[in-house]
């Protein structure tokens, strides 16, 4: 056999690790042929060793340990965003063991339990509510247009993002003004307080950025993304920075003009959230203004 | 070996029970799955994205998506593998998004250098307890080269390599994550290894020679 090329040697290495998964009979034959060749050819054996060495070196690359309680933390972060799943119709009352953990309402849909006294009471209450709602509707007439739930949600979110940007601005301003303690002669600057706040802000920032993206507000998402990088820099820096290191962080903040963007967008959102619900025209104008920023 | 296989089966069984209960409306049952698989998904995500912040975002998003799509999960499949693939897909999206944002802000090449420099900056700031400065310098230098070599792979190459080499994923699984054919996925793994070899080969050899001569501390 002639010398196997690099691709064949990499495939051979890969096959050693995975037991040849993803290969067909031809691959198996090729692996056997390479194995035989390697026994006789020190040159190719050396080449394979060099491939092994690079991949083994990569294995030594450290992955940070997120901590034993990481799974619990992930759950804590995502649980509020998980909607309750509706039981499938065939599951209602199908498994008594499950009934204890599933919603207590599920039993309502189990015909044989409808006539239990407490079920009858619940059904009667629901029926009474329906009648009252019907009569109220007749006397009161059609409802006046009011801000619907989506608008209210948007306003709350607008306010929250505005406040978040306000808090972020404060951290950035404090960093911009940080320096060694007067008269101490110290060459180190302690940014522990700014760092803790940056860590807290990071999590919020990520959620707001994702929400902005989902809502198609790419301008806001872009500002939040730039802010996230700066917060990340701060959060991952040591607590004690040399003046030069602090200057590097300041330069990064200045180069992106992030402080200005955060200030303008934050103020605009806070005003919009605090004022009465804007008309669609105003809302659109505000978005255009933000895009300019 | 048998004990290991048994424990994998037990986990698989209890995963199946947790999925069934989640689908039956018991939201808290999903917690078992999150707590059990978060660490391995984090390792994948970190190796794909190259930083802890993005990796944590990938983990959260992967479990959110898994919950939303749980009805589509085939009962006989392995939940760990399935959520792994979801995470890989999201990590690819995130890397592409970062790349396009970067290219909008600055020329790609300049950005690459800046990012690499930022990574190095951060790494050099991290205090290390290792007593030998020379050894620290060597390992830090190699780690920086490895990180940079991985960053310079395309998202598809990095995904394919990480899934295959560290995740032990099958070629079919990688092909599904990359939305490509099996042969294309196999080629992507090969290209990734080839590029990593070109980038790291000289440093690894240098270290090997230093070890052989006993000059590595």
Supply the mean pLDDT for chain A.
Answer: 73
Question: Tokens 């860590």 label which residue?
Answer: A199
CA nearest to A54, candidates B211, B191, B197: B197
Give the pLDDT score at A203: 81
Q: Reduced to 3 states, what is the DSSP secondary structure of residue A147?
A: coil
Compute the distance between CA of residue A163 and CA of residue A159 in angstroms, rounded to an integer.
6
CA separation (Å) from A95 to A58, A92, A106, A178, B26?
A: 50, 8, 11, 63, 13
Question: How does pLDDT run across A151-197, given as a tens digit for each residue?
Answer: 766 777 788 888 888 888 888 888 877 776 555 566 778 888 888 88
Question: How does pLDDT run across B45-62, given as a tens digit for each residue?
Answer: 998 888 889 999 999 999
Question: How does pLDDT run across A190-221, given as a tens digit for each residue?
Answer: 888 888 888 888 888 888 888 887 777 888 88
Question: How does pLDDT run across B11-32, given as a tens digit for each residue?
Answer: 556 788 889 889 888 888 999 9
Question: How does pLDDT run across A256-281, given as a tens digit for each residue?
Answer: 788 888 888 887 887 777 665 544 44
Give the pLDDT score at A73: 95
Chain B residues closer than 8 Å to A91 by CB: 23-25
Give the pLDDT score at A72: 94
Task: State the DSSP code for B24.
Answer: T
Interface check for A87 against chain B (CB to CB < 8 A): the answer is: yes
Question: Tokens 């290991």 label which residue?
Answer: B4
Q: Do B27 and A206 touch (CB under 8 A)?
A: no
Chain B residues closer than 8 Å to A98 by CB: 21, 24, 26
- Lowest-confidence region among A173-187, A226-240, B56-70, B79-93: A173-187
Chain A residues closer than 8 Å to B60 by CB: 74, 77-78
Give the pLDDT score at A98: 41
* Exposed / middle / buried, residue B175 (Cβ in 10 Å: 0-12, 13-18, 19+): buried
To the nearest whole angstrom, how far is the Cα of B56 from the nearest Cα of chain A?
A: 8
Q: Do B46 and A64 touch (CB under 8 A)?
A: yes
> Across-strand partners of A240?
A190
Q: Which of A10, A52, A57, A199 to mutate to probe the B interface, most B CBs <10 Å?
A: A57
Give the pLDDT score at A135: 73
Q: Do B35 and A72 touch (CB under 8 A)?
A: yes
Is the pLDDT at B193 greater than 90, yes or no?
A: yes
Q: Do B208 and A91 touch (CB under 8 A)?
A: no
Give the pLDDT score at B126: 38
Do B64 and A81 meet the contact criterion of CB atoms below 8 Å apart? yes
Average pLDDT, stretch B178-202?
A: 91
Chain A residues closer than 8 Å to B51 by CB: 232
- Lowest-confidence region among A234-238, B119-123, B183-187: B119-123
What is the torsion angle, in degrees rounded to the nearest 10, for the CA atoms of residue A135, residue A138, residue A139 and residue A145?
Answer: 120
Q: Do A84 and B25 touch (CB under 8 A)?
A: yes
Between A88 and B17, the more confident residue is B17
CA nearest to A208, candidates A264, A277, A157, A272: A157
**Residue B75 confidence class, pLDDT cut points 50, 70, 90:** low
Give the pLDDT score at A129: 73
Chain A residues closer than 8 Å to B34 by CB: 71, 74-75, 78
Give the pLDDT score at B217: 43
Q: Do A18 and B182 touch (CB under 8 A)?
A: no
CA nearest to A6, candidates B193, B170, B149, B186: B193
Compute the distance between CA of residue B103 and CA of residue B111 in angstroms, rounded to an integer.
8
**Residue A74 confidence class, pLDDT cut points 50, 70, 90:** very high
Q: For chain B, how far is it from start to end, CA to CA, in angstroms?
A: 37
pTM of the model: 0.53
**Residue A251 confidence class, pLDDT cut points 50, 70, 90:** confident
Nearest CA in chain A to B27: A84
Q: Tally A–B CB contacts below 8 A.
A: 148
Is the pLDDT at B215 greater than 60, yes or no?
A: no
Q: Do A63 and B24 touch (CB under 8 A)?
A: no
Chain A residues closer than 8 Å to B197 by CB: 50-51, 54
Average pLDDT, stretch A27-31?
A: 80
Positive or negative, the CA dihedral B12, B13, B14, B19 is positive
What is chain A's percent helix, strand, coil content, to nearest 5? 75, 0, 25
Q: Which of A15, A71, A236 to mutate to probe the B interface, most B CBs <10 Å?
A: A71
Q: Do B39 and A50 touch (CB under 8 A)?
A: no
Q: At what angle do helices B182-212 and A42-59 cross, to 10 degrees?
A: 90
Q: From the list A18, A51, A63, which residue is nearest B46 (CB)?
A: A63
Chain A residues closer than 8 Å to B126 by CB: 238
ipTM of predicted assembly, 2 dp: 0.73
Q: Reduced to 3 states, what is the DSSP secondary structure of residue A242?
A: strand
To the nearest whole angstrom, how far is the Cα of A238 from the nearest Cα of chain B?
A: 7
Is the pLDDT at B2 greater than 60, yes or no?
A: no
Cβ count within 10 A of residue A164: 20
Question: How does pLDDT run across A106-155, given as a tens digit for each residue?
Answer: 444 444 445 545 456 656 766 777 777 777 666 665 555 555 666 766 77
Give the pLDDT score at A12: 86
Do A179 and A245 meet the contact criterion of CB atoms below 8 Å apart? no
* Angle made by CA atoms A239, A241, A244, in degrees to the nearest 5: 160
- Lowest-confidence region among A13-17, A68-72, A259-263, B104-108: B104-108
Give the pLDDT score at B203: 85
Give the pLDDT score at A104: 39
To the nearest whole angstrom, how far is the Cα of A58 from the nearest Cα of chain B?
A: 7
Give the pLDDT score at A97: 42
> Across-strand partners of A189?
A241
Q: Reduced to 3 states, what is the DSSP secondary structure of residue B28?
A: coil
**Residue B169 confidence class, pLDDT cut points 50, 70, 90:** confident
Chain A residues closer than 8 Å to B182 by CB: 22
Is the pLDDT at B91 greater than 80, yes or no?
A: yes
Is the pLDDT at B198 greater than 80, yes or no?
A: yes
To the nearest whole angstrom, how far is the Cα of A269 from the nearest Cα of chain B?
A: 23
Token couple for A142? 């059609």
Interface check for A63 against chain B (CB to CB < 8 A): the answer is: yes
Q: Do B125 and A206 touch (CB under 8 A)?
A: no
Q: Do A57 and B204 touch (CB under 8 A)?
A: yes
Is the pLDDT at A19 greater than 60, yes or no?
A: no
Q: Do A14 and B189 touch (CB under 8 A)?
A: yes
Interface check for A238 against chain B (CB to CB < 8 A): the answer is: yes
CA separation (Å) from B52 to A66, A234, B44?
A: 9, 14, 11
To the nearest whole angstrom, how far is the Cα of A71 from the nearest Cα of chain B?
A: 4
To the nearest whole angstrom, how far is the Cα of B44 from the nearest Cα of chain A?
A: 9
Give the pLDDT score at A66: 92
Interface check for A62 against chain B (CB to CB < 8 A): the answer is: yes
Q: Do B101 and A222 touch (CB under 8 A)?
A: yes
Between A223 and A72, the more confident residue is A72
């Amino acid at each position: 056999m002639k010398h196997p090329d690099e691709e064949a040697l990499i495939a051979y290495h890969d096959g050693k690790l995975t037991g040849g998964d993803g290969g067909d009979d031809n691959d198996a034959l090729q692996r056997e042929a390479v194995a035989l060749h390697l026994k006789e050819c020190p040159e190719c054996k050396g080449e394979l060793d060099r491939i092994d060495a690079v991949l083994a070196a990569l294995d030594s690359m450290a992955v940070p340990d997120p901590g034993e309680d990481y799974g619990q933390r992930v759950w804590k972060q995502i649980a509020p965003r998980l909607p309750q799943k509706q039981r499938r119709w065939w599951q209602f009352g199908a498994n008594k063991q499950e009934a204890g953990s599933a919603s207590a309402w599920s039993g309502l849909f189990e015909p044989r339990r409808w006539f239990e006294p407490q079920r009858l009471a619940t059904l009667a209450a629901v029926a009474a509510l329906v009648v009252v709602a019907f009569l109220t509707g007749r006397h009161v007439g059609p409802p006046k247009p009011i801000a619907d739930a989506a608008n209210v949600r948007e306003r709350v979110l607008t306010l929250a993002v505005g406040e978040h940007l306000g808090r972020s601005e404060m951290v950035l301003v404090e960093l911009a003004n940080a320096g060694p303690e007067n008269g101490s002669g110290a060459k180190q600057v302690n940014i522990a307080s700014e760092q803790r706040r940056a860590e807290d802000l990071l999590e919020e920032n990520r959620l707001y950025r994702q929400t902005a993206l989902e809502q198609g507000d790419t301008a806001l998402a872009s500002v939040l993304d730039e802010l996230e990088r700066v917060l990340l820099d701060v959060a991952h820096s040591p607590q004690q920075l040399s003046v030069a290191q602090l200057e590097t962080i300041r330069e990064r903040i200045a180069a992106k003009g992030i402080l200005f963007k955060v200030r303008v967008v934050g103020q605009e959102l806070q005003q919009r959230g605090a004022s009465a619900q804007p008309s669609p025209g105003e809302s659109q104008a505000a978005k255009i203004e933000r895009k300019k920023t | 070996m048998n004990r290991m296989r048994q424990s994998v089966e037990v986990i698989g069984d209890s995963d199946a029970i947790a999925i069934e209960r989640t689908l039956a409306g018991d939201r808290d049952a999903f917690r078992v799955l999150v707590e059990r698989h978060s660490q391995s998904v984090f390792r994948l995500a970190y190796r794909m994205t190259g930083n802890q912040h993005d990796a944590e975002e990938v983990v959260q998003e992967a479990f959110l998506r898994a919950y939303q799509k749980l009805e589509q999960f085939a009962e006989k499949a392995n939940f760990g593998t399935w959520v792994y693939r979801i995470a890989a897909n999201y990590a690819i999206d995130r890397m592409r998004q970062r790349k396009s944002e970067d290219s909008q802000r600055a020329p790609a090449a300049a950005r690459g250098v800046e990012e690499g420099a930022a990574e190095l900056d951060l790494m050099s700031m991290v205090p290390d307890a290792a007593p030998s400065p020379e050894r620290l310098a060597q390992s830090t230098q190699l780690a920086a080269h490895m990180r940079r070599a991985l960053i310079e792979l395309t998202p598809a190459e990095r995904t394919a390599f990480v899934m295959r080499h560290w995740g032990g994923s099958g070629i079919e699984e990688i092909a599904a994550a990359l939305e490509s054919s099996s042969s294309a996925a196999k080629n992507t793994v090969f290209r990734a290894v080839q590029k990593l070899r070109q980038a790291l080969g000289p440093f690894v050899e240098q270290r090997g020679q230093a070890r052989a001569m006993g000059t590595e501390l």
